[in-house]
Structure 1
Amino acid sequence: MLMEAEFWVAVAFLVFCGIVWKAGGFAQIVKGLDGRGERVRRELEEARRLREEAASVLADYKRRRSEAEREAEAIVASAREEAERAAAEGHARLNEFVARRTKAAEAKIAQAEAQAAAEVRAAAAEAAVRVSETILREKVSGEAAQDLIRRSLGDVRTRLRA
């Protein structure tokens, strides 16, 4: 057994471990592992803090998004109401304009009818005066006839134009 290589490898390993222990190597190894564990713990805490911060930012963005959606819906609804109101107002103005134009046209028509009736009456009066004048001249003669014709024609004209 003393001549086997595995025995001497085990002995060399134990001597090496003894030298490392005396030189404080195990303490350095433990200290390094503790430092690494502390570093991993800090990184985990930082990762947890960043995760919580990201969750907070995400919640804030979700809240802002929902507020923006509600605001956009309100703007769309307001715009829709404004458009409907403007359309109704335009329709009302158009109806009012048409009513005014219709009324003005009816007034012009009535005025034209009245003017036409007056012109017809005037033409009829003028024709009646001429016919009367012609008839009276044929039947009545002399100065008295001329005076009678003038008075009668004046009366006829006055009555027909009234």
Structure 2
Amino acid sequence: MRNLISLSALGTLMASPALAASGPFFSLRNTDFVVLLGFLLFLAVLVYFKVPKTLGGLLDKRADGIRNELEEARALREEAQTLLASYERKQREVQEQADKIVAQAKIDAESAADQARKDLDVSIARRIAAAEEQIKSAETSAVKEVRDRAISVAVAAASDVIAKQLGADDKAKLVDSSIKEIGAKLH
């Protein structure tokens, strides 16, 4: 610090305005000399009251504070980077789980669609079989109706023919033989 004061005093003495003043330099009438004396006195007062040392201490404290803040900032940055890496890792894990869930959902959907197709095929086959059974039943019923109708018509026609050709004695014999036949079949 003393070197700084010496250098500033030397710089002041060698300054070009001081050399440009008229008359002798070391005179109280020379304003440059008076300003130089005032400046040197000011510097001496500052040194006497240890202002440079106090300023140096304050600057050192400030430098220590800045250094501590920088260290704290580095620690916070490292912690933030650790947290960021942790969150990125968790995000990747969650993304992987989501991808697995989506893939499983696709597999389940395809399986459900295949099962639905199979169930539909079975249902269609059952309905076709039921429809064919109904058609067959309707055919059988229609054939039976036609036969029954044909038998009814044939019996009516036969009874008309028989009624016209048979006499009363023949009718009685026919009734008696039918009764005997029924009796034999019942016992």
Identity score, percent: 35
Q: How many residues align?
A: 153
Measured in 2, the distance between the counterparts of 1:104 and 1:149 equals 47
Bigger Rg, which one: 2
Amino acid at match of 2:150: A
Deviation at 1:145, TM superposition (A): 4.8
Say whether residues 1:94 and 2:120 are aligned partners: yes
Aligned match of 1:2 in 14, 26, 43? 26
Deviation at 1:39, TM superposition (A): 0.9
Deviation at 1:41, TM superposition (A): 0.6
Other-structure match for 1:113: 139
Structure 1: which 5+ runs fail to align?
Answer: 156-162
Other-structure match for 1:56: 82
Aligned match of 1:71 in 88, 97, 108? 97
Other-structure match for 1:27: 53
Deviation at 1:151, TM superposition (A): 5.7
Aligned-CA RMSD value: 2.6
Measured in 2, the distance between the counterparts of 1:66 and 1:115 equals 72
Q: Which has the higher contact order (CA 8 A, sep 6+)?
A: 1
Structure 2: which 5+ runs fail to align?
Answer: 1-24, 182-187
Measured in 2, the distance between the counterparts of 1:74 and 1:17 equals 78
Other-structure match for 2:111: 85
Other-structure match for 1:47: 73
Kept after mapping to 2: 8 A contact 1:133/1:149: no
Kept after mapping to 2: 8 A contact 1:20/1:26: yes
Deviation at 1:64, TM superposition (A): 2.5
Measured in 2, the distance between the counterparts of 1:12 and 1:6 equals 10
